[in-house]
Structure 1
Amino acid sequence: MLRVHSIESFGTHDGPGIRMVIFLQGCKLKCLYCHNPDSIQTTGGEEYHIEELVQMALKMKSYFGKKGGVTVSGGEPLLQAKALIPFFKRLKEEGIHTNIDTNGRILNHFSRELLDDYADLIMLDIKHMTEEGYVALTGQANKEIAFNLAKHREDSGKNMWLRYVLIPGLTNDPKLLHQLGNHFKDYKTIEKIEIQPYHKLGIHKWEALGWEYQLKDARENTEEELQEASEILKTYFKEVRIN
């Protein structure tokens, strides 16, 4: 069984090609910009049998083409890594591409097996390059955990994308972008990095939960800021995409 927050058909921003995107319930972080804050609590969502989700994916398989497949996002999917192993195993049996969108906070026996044996791709969300900034954005300490998972993926030789939310005044400092590039510049498995422009689409969800949205004063990126960030990162990565 998997505890699911929501399911999106025909997703085009969560991995290669057209994808079925399954957002799982539960996350240990509370990112200030989270656009699915109702997925943070582990007690919410709806339980699905694994085979039920497999059959949903099979009905969509003809739309996936050569590149598409299933992406599991969240919340944080690796919280349910044990249940994801048989799910991804079944998808692989059916010839369906598998992808995990993760914050990288969980690297245990189950997540290692999932990443090493069944995940064709992972998209790793890099929150911040300093410990102080990481704590301020996520509410948790130790940014190195995500970097450990990235190193594990690199050592496995399997493909990885990076994702980075660009927030004016918080994460768009050129110094931070150069730190990001320098940290990962020698990685061979990183196919691309995706810049995620900051937006406020989740504010109404925060308000519905009775939570204060602390980035109300943050503005969205200008086109110039996005292009500047892209040009900096292009000096370190094979491909840079602005989502």
Structure 2
Amino acid sequence: MGFPGTWMTESESMVYRVVPKCACSTIGQIMYYSDHGEFFDGDIHDATERMHKWAMEDSHQRIEDNVKNHKSYSFTCVRNPYTRILSSFFDKICGIQRNGKRYRGNMVPLLTQKYGIQVEGDFDQIQSFRRFLLFARDTIRWRRPMEPDIHWSAMSGHVSTFIVNGGRYDKIFFTEKFNEGMQEVLDATDTRHSVDLATIPRFNESEGHGPKRAHPVEDYFDDLSMHLVYEIYKRDFNLFKYDFHNPANKMPTGEIDLDEVHAKLGD
């Protein structure tokens, strides 16, 4: 299986396991800058040179050798499951993607037909989001009406492939404490170019794809929605120390125990 979703700087100063919807565009650009002293011109997901990615066959051997021998500092980043699934909805379901089309082509018409989700005009965001949650649960639990998408499948699933195939994380930090966590990574690595996190722009490539969120996070989650979210993301809440009981609290409630993460996700 190898190391899907793994990026590594060309200099091999650091290794990052991408978790979708968890500041991955900004992290990728910081990695690129730390090697080359400039940002990639465009969406970092489109970069096919000056950086190693598992999606590029030429990078496989370099990444595998590095990760299995733990040659470089390895890290990833996680996010509150409530805000992550909400962000996925507004970006991937409501939004028009950078190619000018709907995400995954016929998916939105399928959701309209099967789940009654509306995303056009002045639609009821809360009602449509709650119906989307049912769809997300169905894809993850029963793989129907389609396979689960990387943007709403559980973070623990993404994080685990790195461990199961022989990798070990030195750091897992929170999107909500981004500068603090990313600074620890930079302090622990020897980079060609120094990075000043205070002046780095946030590369939120999904921003502007969809409509603005019209309500506070907690308004989207009634009792049933919270139950669905916990069914899907129970492991994420527990391992990554987020507050299931209060959707309004996006901040983690404690520090991540790396030994626990490796033990529980390494099966």
What TM-score comes out, normalization by structure 2 length? 0.30
Higher strand fraction (1 or 2) = 1
> Which structure carries more helix by proportion?
2
Using the size of structure 1 for normalisation, the TM-score is: 0.32
Higher RCO (C-alpha 8 Å, min separation 6): 2
Greater C-alpha radius of gyration: 2
